[in-house]
Structure 1
Amino acid sequence: MLIGNSIGLRAIEQNDLAQLLLWRNQPEFRRFFREYRELSSDNQAIWYDKVVLNDRNTMMFAIIDKESKRLLGACGLCYINWVDRSADFSIYIGADSIYIDGLFAIDAAKTMVKFAYEELSLHRLWSEIYDFDEAKKAMFATLGFTLDGRHRQTHWSEGSWHDSLFYSLLSSDSIPKN
């Protein structure tokens, strides 16, 4: 388990899947994710088997409250490129409909960044978000991520087109301490 100040990051277990599915299917969360439709239990089981358990280019973690051990959300490194030492960074807090906050999400993100750079020797973390995702914009600013660019009108949501924003953090960047 990876330990932060208030959270722990542990392997996603099969008994986490039902709760994670509920969070992933909440419309107020799903609008920020790449999923464009409601996911079924079968979709979730396939994701768990193919991605979480068997894809060496993905490392997903359950975020838990360090004290109570309550499941809070999920985070991970996806599309890991071991040659270029880069990965897509993803995170959300599903508990209490938080999504992104200044306590659990920031602590989990810092813990994941430290793991990516110190344990996996990655060089670059990146993330694609949509231009209306104010919570992740603020989180990335707090963490020292740089806005690298924008792809115009990539995402249809709530009756209009939205841009994709691409953020990155290099291992050489100044990373806020826990």
Structure 2
Amino acid sequence: MIETARLRLRWWRDADRDAHAALCADPEVMADLGGPRDRAGSERRFDSYLAALEAFGFARWSVEDQSGNFLGYVGVMPRRGEHPLGDHDEIGWRLNRHAWGHGYALEAAGAALDDVYRRIGLPEVIAYTAPDNYRSQAVIRRLGMRRDAVRDFTVPSDTGGQWRGLVWVAPPP
């Protein structure tokens, strides 16, 4: 578990599945990924976090406030297999709508980056986001990440069509 001034990042429990599914079903929260995921899609994503944690020792964390209220997730996911960027480690976050605008993504992402650089010893962590996801881009800039436009990519989206990712690199501490 990681504790910050206002947040607790902890590994997932089976009891978190419903809260994760509700997060993934929210059209506004999922707009930058082409729309909400159904329960089966949420379950696949949830299971991927558990598998990554077991295989690599890091993954997305469940994020809650100090009272234990679920806010969303943040963390570094190992991306292996077929991807335009090849094997890499990517930081990302997704918070419930009511948690937006409070600096939680920045606070939790900073703690997650510090963890994988110090505890795991990763050589590099990247972030990518859609060109119109200005909220995430603001968090990325506040994290001190540097733009690496050479690595920008396009992939098929989960909902059909194409998704374009703009890439940034996180500086080690």
> What TM-score does the superposition give when structure 1 sets the normalisation length?
0.76
1:136-151 → structure 2 map (5 Å cutoff) = 136-149=136-149, 151=152
Q: How does 1:128-139 map to 2 (within 5 A)?
A: 128-139=128-139
Cα distance, 1:120–1:161 mapped onto 2, change above 3 Å? closer
Aligned residue in 2 for 1:127? 127
Determine which structure has the larger strand proportion and give its number.
1
Counterpart in the other structure of 2:30: 30
Taking the aligned partners of 2:165 and 2:92, their CA distance within structure 1 comes to 15
Cross-structure match for 1:107? 107
Q: CA deviation at 1:154?
A: 5.8
CA distance in 1, matches of 2:153, 2:11: 36
Q: 1:40 to 1:3 in 2, by over 3 A?
A: same
| Aligned-partner Cα distance in 2 for 1:152–1:109 | 23
State the partner residue of 2:83: none
Asked if 2 retains the 8 angstrom alpha-carbon contact of 1:86 and 1:123, the reply is no
CA drift of 1:7 comes to: 0.5
* Between structures 1 and 2, the one with greater helix share: 2
CA distance in 2 between counterparts of 1:134 and 1:120 reads 30
Secondary structure of 1:16's aligned partner: helix
Looking at structure 2, the residues matched to 136 and 42 of structure 1 have their Cα atoms a distance apart, in angstroms, of 26
**Identity of counterpart residues, as a percentage?**
14
Shift in alpha-carbon separation, 1:13–1:169, aligned structure 2, 3 A: same
Could you say which residue in structure 2 is the equivalent of 1:69?
68
Pair 1:137–1:48, CA change in 2 (3 A): closer
- Matches of 1:7 and 1:32 in 2, distance apart? 24
Letter in 1 for 2:133: D
Runs of 4+ in structure 1 off by over 2 angstroms are 36-49, 52-55, 150-156, 160-164
Q: 1:96/1:37 Cα in 2 relative to 1: closer, same or farther (>3 Å)?
A: closer
Work out whether 1:19 is the aligned partner of 2:16: no
- Equivalent in the alignment of 1:165: 166
Q: Shift of the alpha carbon at 1:97?
A: 5.7
Comparing 139-148 with 102-111, greater Cα deviation is found at 102-111
- Kindly provide the amino acid, as one letter, of the partner of residue 96 in structure 2: G
Report the alpha carbon displacement of residue 45 of structure 1 after superposing the two structures with TM: 2.8
Deviation of 1:42 after TM superposition, in Å, equals: 2.9
Which stretches in structure 2 are left out of the alignment for 5+ residues?
A: 81-86
SS of the residue 1:32 aligns to: helix
The answer to whether the Cα contact below 8 Å between 1:86 and 1:125 also exists between their aligned partners in 2 is yes
Give RMSD over aligned pairs.
2.7
Q: 1:37, CA displacement in angstroms?
A: 5.7
C-alpha distance in 2, partners of 1:5/1:107?
8
